Amino acid sequence: HEPEAIPTEAIREEYENLADLVRKYRFAYYQEDAPLVSDAEFDTLFRRLEEIEALHPELVANDSPTQEVGGEVSAAFAPVEHLQRMYSLEDVFSLAELEAWLNRAEASIEKIGDGGVKAAWLTELKIDGLAVNLLYRDGKLVRAATRGDGTTGEDITHNLLTIKEIPQELRGNGFPAEMEVRGEVFIPSKAFAEFNEALIEAGKAPLANPRNAAAGSLRQKDPAETAKRPLKMFVHGIGAREGLAAGSQSETYGLLKEWGLPVSPYFEVLETRDDVLAFIERYGDQRHKLLHEIDGIVIKVDDFGTQRALGNTTRVPRWAVAYKYPPEEVHTKLLDIQVNV
């Protein structure tokens, strides 16, 4: 986009209203675990906000939703400062946008490596859950926190420990003196359906969707309540680390798995763009047959050195992108209505 001259009053007003609406929807989604609109609807509004900002950079304030990781810290939990900031992900909504993103990333990588670096793409499923940050010191879990605003999260250690697969102590040896393990907490699709059936049988209201159910479950005040929910976690990143002997993210996953952490069975390291596109297509076809819900695919630069060289914006890493599948239209037989899921 070519930046336009001075924004008119009408543009300024549209922009302010849109920013307020995005803030309101984020609050309902992150703080109350009760979204007011569909993700597709939210994404469209967010996109429009980014478009206006691209045309009128002078409108962009430091507290614009595009400059922040969505999510706040509730007073119900003790605040936790992450050792290393947690980020969101840049989204693309079509294969053409993905190609453009890959072109840009490959050009930057080539510059960094003087043409000698070859990008290997770590492709993963984008799990529709809640991001958490686990701090291990000398192999012992010190605390667990939600992402919050990226800098400060909420202490949910007791709730997280109700998830059986998460080790309080790592097994084996060679683990770093200190490391932050990032992952996604989710409710598997089958367990979600069963949990909801049980609620309905008991005359209670079912949970709206697995993502908000996972977020709501993890942010209970009483860990005994969390323990009743069928939560799981898969690792998808690493934050601060001291003495980690691994040069890439996939290599790190191998180590984390050895140490007893739950690593997703679905990730792959791919050399070519065609392989990345095939991965997207394959999981697009299978998305409802997987262990958990997904809303897209995450494509990351695997090599840590290249990740560091590419760096981050205030909101997202420049070395990763989320491809979002188009929202599906579900036609119900009884009622002739369409709903976005």
Binding site for ligand NAD (CB under 6 A): 25-26, 29, 35-39, 42-43, 70, 88-89, 91, 124, 126-127, 131, 147, 184, 236-237, 295, 298, 322
Indicate the residue among 72 and 106 with the shorter CB distance to ligand NAD.
72
DSSP structural state of residue 204: P
CB contact set of 99 (below 8 Å; sequence gap of 6+): 273
Least Å distance, CB 98 to ligand NAD, is: 14
Indicate the residue among 153 and 176 with the shorter CB distance to ligand NAD.
153
Indicate the residue among 90 and 110 with the shorter CB distance to ligand NAD.
90
Indicate the residue among 89 and 187 with the shorter CB distance to ligand NAD.
89
- For 40, 270, 298, the CA distances from 249, given in Å and listed in that order, are 30, 13, 13
Least Å distance, CB 35 to ligand NAD, is: 4
Least Å distance, CB 136 to ligand NAD, is: 19
Active site residues: 126
Which letter, b or e, does each residue of 81-113 get, where b requires 16 or more Cβ atoms within 10 Å of its Cβ? ebeebbbbbebbbeeeebeebbeebeebbeeee
Q: What is the DSSP string of 106-171?
A: HHHHHHHTTT-----EEEEEEESSEEEEEEEETTEEEEEEE-TTSSEEEB-HHHHTTSTTS-SB--
Indicate the residue among 113 and 189 with the shorter CB distance to ligand NAD.
189
Least Å distance, CB 151 to ligand NAD, is: 13
Which residue, 266, 284, 107, 69, is CA-closest to 186?
Answer: 266
SS3 296: strand
CB closest to ligand NAD, residue no: 131
Least Å distance, CB 48 to ligand NAD, is: 13
User: What are the tokens at 266?
Assistant: 């679905």
